[in-house]
Amino acid sequence: MTTVPISSTDGPSSFLARLWKPRNRYYFIAFLFVLPALINFTVFRYLPIVAAARASLWEYSLLGGYKGFVGLKHYQYMMDDIYFWKSMRVTAAFVLMKVPIQVLLSLMLAVLLQKETRSSAIVRSAIFTPVVTSVVVVSIVWAMMYHSQLGLINSVLSAFGIPRQVFMSDPNRALPAMSVMMVWKDLGFSMIIIMAGLKGIPVVYREAAIVDGANPWQIMRHITLPLLKRVLMFVVVTQTIFSFQNFVPVYVMTKGGPMDSTKVIVFYIYQFGFLFQDMGYASAMSIVTLFVLLVISVIQMRLFRTDVEY
């Protein structure tokens, strides 16, 4: 009987050697860098979403726990809840007032301040400072500035002979006033992102357009904006999501008033979950809000979709 010699390259060691090729080793190292973010999203995002979806099907409170399975009862009740739909309308109005103005101002400031000079660096730092400031502190300071008698804004208006205005106590002005504050707060973030996108556009495109006789507006319209579509998509989508999550300014400044004019959906969810101890219904509203955000994000991504490469 003839024996076949076993090659020294066969066996577990050779399998590990093939598995640990340079390309696979790079993938593994890259995965290690991504792993903390994956753990963070799993623990603090995905698992809470699953838990909320489960809680939305039960009578559930933080103090009493799970009491009974109700199926889609919370979702059926939501369809007839006029305050839920009013909160969604208030949230939509807040998003429409904040996001377009913020993106437009961010684009203008990014174009004006993209040059690397000492003065532009100082202005960029001043604009970005509110981004890293606590939103609680910002809300308190702006509430004091909006005060009808002692506020800084009314003092400035009085100096120009304009009568004192009521901001946070007027149902027609409270939400726009809060939108102005949040535009000021988040403007620096959008500006920095758009500025990074501007720096990524090759200078050769602009130089070729200048040689062809294009004016600054034509360069902005036909070159800069098309090449910024992906960056603008990121800014619009993220700011829309952040705006839907607006809670702290409402809690600090108005508690949802006056006359529910600033009661955004997140604050309404907070009321049911933590004040009324109906976490099941609050979870159902959270799931619906998540679904609405997903639909809006998909629509925005399609609107800003582009095949332009640079």
pLDDT of residue 17: 65
Say if residue 11's pLDDT is above 60: no
- CATH 1.10.3720.10 segments of the chain: 80-303
DSSP per residue, the chain: -PPPPPPTT-SHHHHHHHHT-HHHHHHHHHHHHHHHHHHHHIIIIIHHHHHHHHHTTEEEETTTEEEEE-TTHHHHHHHT-HHHHHHHHHHHHHHHHHHHHHHHHHHHHHHHT-S--HHHHHHHHHHHGGGGS-HHHHHHHHHHHT-TTT-HHHHHHHHTTPPP---TT-TTTHHHHHHHHHHHHHHHHHHHHHHHHHHTS-HHHHHHHHHTT--HHHHIIIIIHHHTHHHHHHHHHHHHHHHHT--HHIIIIITT-STTTT--HHHHHHIIIIIS--HHHHHHHHHHHHHHHHHHHHHHHHHT------
pLDDT of residue 5: 52
Question: Topology of domain 80-303, per CATH?
Answer: MetI-like fold (1.10.3720)
pLDDT of residue 211: 87
Residue 89: band (very low, low, confident or very high) from pLDDT cuts 50, 70, 90: very high
pLDDT of residue 144: 94
Residue 304: band (very low, low, confident or very high) from pLDDT cuts 50, 70, 90: confident
**Residue 3 Ramachandran class (φ > 0 left, ψ -120 to 50 alpha, else beta):** beta
More confident residue, 118 or 106: 106
Say if residue 196's pLDDT is above 80: yes
Residue with tokens 């535009």: 183
More confident residue, 257 or 17: 257
pLDDT of residue 13: 62
pLDDT of residue 290: 95
Cα–Cα distance measured from residue 262 to residue 250, given in angstroms and rounded to the nearest whole number: 7
**Residue 273 Ramachandran class (φ > 0 left, ψ -120 to 50 alpha, else beta):** alpha
Say if residue 3's pLDDT is above 70: no
* pLDDT over 90, % of the chain: 63
Q: What mean pLDDT is reported for the chain?
A: 89
Summarize pLDDT for 26-59 with one digit per residue, the tens. Answer: 888 888 999 999 999 899 989 999 999 999 999 9
- Range of weakest confidence among 8-12, 75-79, 119-123, 167-171: 8-12
Instruction: Tell me the mean pLDDT in the region 73-94.
Output: 95
Cα–Cα distance measured from residue 51 to residue 71, given in angstroms and rounded to the nearest whole number: 15
Summarize pLDDT for 204-263 with one digit per residue, the tens. Answer: 888 888 888 888 888 888 888 888 999 999 999 999 999 999 999 999 999 998 999 999
Cis peptide before 48 (omega within 30 of 0): no
pLDDT of residue 139: 95
- Range of weakest confidence among 55-69, 90-104, 178-192: 55-69
Instruction: Tell me the mean pLDDT in the region 155-160.
Output: 90
Say if residue 289's pLDDT is above 90: yes
Phi and psi for 118 in degrees, rounded to 5? -65, -40
Helix 152-159, helix 135-145: angle, nearest 10: 40
Which is nearest to 56 in space by CA: 284, 290, 285? 284
